[in-house]
Structure 1
Amino acid sequence: MNDLGKRIRKLRREKNLTLAELAGERLTKGMLSLIENGKAQPSIESLHYIAERIGVEVSTLLNDNNVEQLRVLLFEIEEDFKKISNPYIKKDIKKMKQMYEKIQIHREKLLGNHYEEIRLLDIATRLETFLHIDDDPSTMYDVIEFYEKIHAYNQVIHCFSFLGSTAFNRNDYRIALQFMQEGEKRVHPFLHLIDKLSILDMHYILTVLYAAIDDKTNTQRHLELALKIAHENKIYYRLDDFYRFTLSQAIGEGDEVKSRYYLEKLTQHAAFTEDKAATSMLAFFKAHYANNIEKNYKQVPSFASYLDYSIDLEEKKDILILYKIEEAYSYWAQGLYKEAIESSKNIEIPSYVHHPTDLAIMYQGFAIRALSHLELGEKELAKSEILYAYQGVNDFPDTLYKSFIQQAYEKIQYGKRAR
């Protein structure tokens, strides 16, 4: 900081300014003297004020040599950040702590004057949230304003997406949507400056969030906008996400034609990409289609062949759980209650699953197990299982899965027949 003080003094004298003239109304002459002598550290606001009074950029006060140093650091951090597949599992938490410590060494230099500084501050803010160090959104709003000053509107979208995802992960769906609506509004005048992938991301997230609060009109609107952008620009990014979303909607609505069409699209996409996770997800979707559209329960166990056990099950365990729920459903529907219980015995809800529809599907697994216990005369076990599922979906939008759980609850608790 002594070098900073020396640079301020040198520039002040070059401009023929006295201490009092530079201090102006926002700093005292004494404080400025301490800063110049390296005995006090200026705040970010004071640094910007001093730079403005002298008529230079803040980077001039800080010395541009720092930029190259931060650029090297950013390259390293970006490479490490790309490798974080799930910020809530142990191995990635360890990586994030190491990254955060590297950034913290340079934290006082991150004042938002260059892209490198802004991006490092951006990543540090995300890491603080993931590591539960600080989850105050005001820091990310500072980052957003810095990005806006350099017209980095792609990054503005990503920042609002992060704020939205933070609220979403707490199941605060409406707050998550408010963040994304604000982001959409702020970048709207600058859409011509934003790449199509970022716009596609924005519409996908808005689609998912509107669905989470059961706003069917806006869900469909953003889904159609996204698919239009993807088709017109021949973009395959996120296409599997949109196919999965649309297929889930179609099956939930009992639309056989639409369900078959998007199941074929999803199958083709998995074959084209040769992605192991995408192929494994076919086990669930084909079983889901067979159970709910075709009612071909005997075929469901054969879809286990799509599961690839070489993928990291700590990260992708929802894939196996979703398939096992469908397998249990098929056994239950055939009256094979012991097999249904066996298939569903390891069902749990991963901590990273938050969308109401995904959660409802998983809670349905407990309802299937409850109904199977009931048929085997194990009523107390049935009551325990169904109560957990029923309370879990109580505040969720109406879906095929919620309806199944509610009917199971009424049957187990009150002896009512399914409607």
Structure 2
Amino acid sequence: MSTLGERIRAIRKQRKMTLDALAGDQMTKAMMSYIENNKANPSMESLSYIAERLGVKVSELMEEINPQEVREVLKAVEKIYTGETEDKYKKIIDAVRPYIESLDQGYEAARLLELYGRALYYEKMDNWIEVIDKATALYDQLNLTSRLAAIGIFKSIVKFTKREYEDSLAILLEERSKFEKRNGLIEPLIRLDFDYWTSLLHFAVGNSEEAVRIMNEGIEFSKSQQIFYRIAHLYQLAIVNAMMNKDISAISYYENKILHYGVFAEDRDAIPFINFVKIHYLTSYEKSFREAFELIKEHHNEYGFDESNTSYSFMGEKGKALYGLGRYEEALACFKEVKIPHYAHHPFDLSILYEKDAYAALSHMALGNKAEAKRLIEIAVENISAMPSSPYKDFIMKTYNTIAS
């Protein structure tokens, strides 16, 4: 099996090029000699430059890849993937693309293909499905069930992020069925992933009873196995469901569970999330606007309104409380600050956020701005129409009837 350096030398000699000619004005003759004799490994930038000078694709130079080199690339790509840089998916694509045609066997190749396919999807580029399918085939050969499950869930989430909830649930149920038929017993972490996403998607399509059943099974399984992976997410689903059903005892029960888990896991989002639940219940369900406003001030003094602390909008809650206190101009200023975050896809999250347009419409009505009130409530109705039944949908439609009459 020829090395990278040997392939570069062979192609250079075929082109009747000297080391000086190949080095050009961006590399030294000495460095080119080190690379050809495998005493130095070129960076991807240098490799692209060499390929361009030779008139070939980088993939031709990389036709036979050193396994250690692939491991190093995977290590670097995993680090990028778990990082928080804005351009991380572009970096992954650039890092993996030169190797893509040679990734045909082994775990490292499969994982690089998976990460490359995910990056292509997030960058809205073509062929991500083909790449993911190739990764799936390699994982299948290796019988890596955890990675097969992760890819199956990813395919479902793709539909979920497009708000195609029925399709997302159908894909997830099919993937889970295939997985169970193939493997019998499911590994605990994989089962909890399936339980969480299946419950969440049943809620998304309005199958509340089935969602609650699976959610409770996931919670009980987590307790029985003493595995707390996904438990916070399952508790959050449970508390939102309890809130929508106005089940005070269940809300209190899951509040305590989330807070206890937050202490155990050192989860800084636990208290902000519970604060949001308390405030939101007061504004949307109890209409206790003054009490809610006092809690909002307490939360703001301690935590601020940093949206990274929670997946919900405290600014929207502040606007609703101000509306209830008759401070309409201040309420509208708050509502203008509310943006739907890029990660909000579930009907629960979206319905809560859409509710603010109804309150903004009511604020304009109170100020005598009927035309603007009508425009905003029509936006709220259009947004909520595709969502399943909920107290938020009922409130928006009731507000529409009030304003339109």
CA deviation vs aligned residue, 1:81-123 (integer Å, no higher than 9, x gap)? 1124xxxxxx42x122112111112111111x20111110111
Q: Assess, with a 3 A threshold, how the Cα gap between structure 1 residues 276 and 401 changes in structure 2: closer, same or farther.
A: same
Q: Contact conserved, 1:277 with 1:311, CA < 8 A, in 2?
A: no
Aligned partners of 2:216, 2:247: CA distance in 1, in Å?
Answer: 18
Three-state SS of the structure 2 residue aligned to 1:97 is: helix
Three-state SS of the structure 2 residue aligned to 1:171 is: coil
CA deviation vs aligned residue, 1:216-242 (integer Å, no higher than 9, x gap)? 232123212211221111122222211
Aligned partners of 1:134, 1:262: CA distance in 2, in Å?
Answer: 43
Q: Of the candidates 359, 363, 366, which is equivalent to residue 372 of structure 1?
A: 363
Q: Kindly report which structure 2 residues correspond to 1:167-182, keeping only aligned pairs within 5 A, or say none.
A: 167-182=159-174
CA deviation vs aligned residue, 1:132-189 (integer Å, no higher than 9, x gap)? 1125534323322221221111111110111111111111111111221121011103
Residue matched to 2:117: 125
Residue matched to 1:338: 329
Aligned partners of 1:293, 1:257: CA distance in 2, in Å?
Answer: 15
Aligned partners of 2:345, 2:303: CA distance in 1, in Å?
Answer: 24
- The one-letter code of the counterpart of 1:137 is I
Q: Does 2:402 align with 1:411?
A: yes
Q: Does 2:84 align with 1:100?
A: no
Q: Kindly report which structure 2 residues correspond to 1:138-157, keeping only aligned pairs within 5 A, or say none.
A: 138-157=130-149
Q: Does 2:293 align with 1:291?
A: no
Gaps of 5+ in 2: 7-55, 58-62
- The one-letter code of the counterpart of 2:72 is V
Greater shift in the superposed pair: 230-239 or 300-309 = 300-309
User: How far did 1:283 drift?
Assistant: 2.8
Residue matched to 2:43: none
Q: Assess, with a 3 A threshold, how the Cα gap between structure 1 residues 385 and 311 changes in structure 2: closer, same or farther.
A: closer
- The one-letter code of the counterpart of 1:71 is R
What is the alpha-carbon root mean square deviation over aligned residues? 2.9
Aligned partners of 2:136, 2:332: CA distance in 1, in Å?
Answer: 50
- The one-letter code of the counterpart of 2:80 is D
Residue matched to 1:397: 388
Q: Contact conserved, 1:153 with 1:193, CA < 8 A, in 2?
A: no
Q: Does 2:276 align with 1:275?
A: no
Aligned partners of 2:374, 2:260: CA distance in 1, in Å?
Answer: 42
Q: Does 2:195 align with 1:206?
A: no
Q: Assess, with a 3 A threshold, how the Cα gap between structure 1 residues 221 and 139 changes in structure 2: closer, same or farther.
A: farther
Three-state SS of the structure 2 residue aligned to 1:236 is: coil
Residue matched to 2:74: 74
CA deviation vs aligned residue, 1:275-299 (integer Å, no higher than 9, x gap)? 3333322331120233355553322
User: How far did 1:247 drift?
Assistant: 0.8
- The one-letter code of the counterpart of 2:98 is I
Aligned partners of 2:83, 2:306: CA distance in 1, in Å?
Answer: 14
Aligned partners of 1:353, 1:306: CA distance in 2, in Å?
Answer: 22
Three-state SS of the structure 2 residue aligned to 1:106 is: helix
Aligned-residue identity in percent: 25
Aligned partners of 1:191, 1:327: CA distance in 2, in Å?
Answer: 50
Residue matched to 1:357: 348
Greater shift in the superposed pair: 262-271 or 150-159 = 262-271
**Matched residue pairs, number?**
350
User: How far did 1:303 drift?
Assistant: 3.1
Aligned partners of 1:74, 1:274: CA distance in 2, in Å?
Answer: 30
User: How far did 1:361 drift?
Assistant: 0.6
Q: Contact conserved, 1:363 with 1:392, CA < 8 A, in 2?
A: yes
What TM-score comes out, normalization by structure 1 length?
A: 0.76
User: How far did 1:300 drift?
Assistant: 1.5
Aligned partners of 1:135, 1:217: CA distance in 2, in Å?
Answer: 38
Residue matched to 2:18: none
Aligned partners of 2:281, 2:374: CA distance in 1, in Å?
Answer: 29
Aligned partners of 1:171, 1:68: CA distance in 2, in Å?
Answer: 41
Aligned partners of 2:89, 2:362: CA distance in 1, in Å?
Answer: 43
Three-state SS of the structure 2 residue aligned to 1:350 is: coil
Three-state SS of the structure 2 residue aligned to 1:137 is: helix
CA deviation vs aligned residue, 1:237-259 (integer Å, no higher than 9, x gap)? 22221111111111111111112
What TM-score comes out, normalization by structure 2 length?
A: 0.78
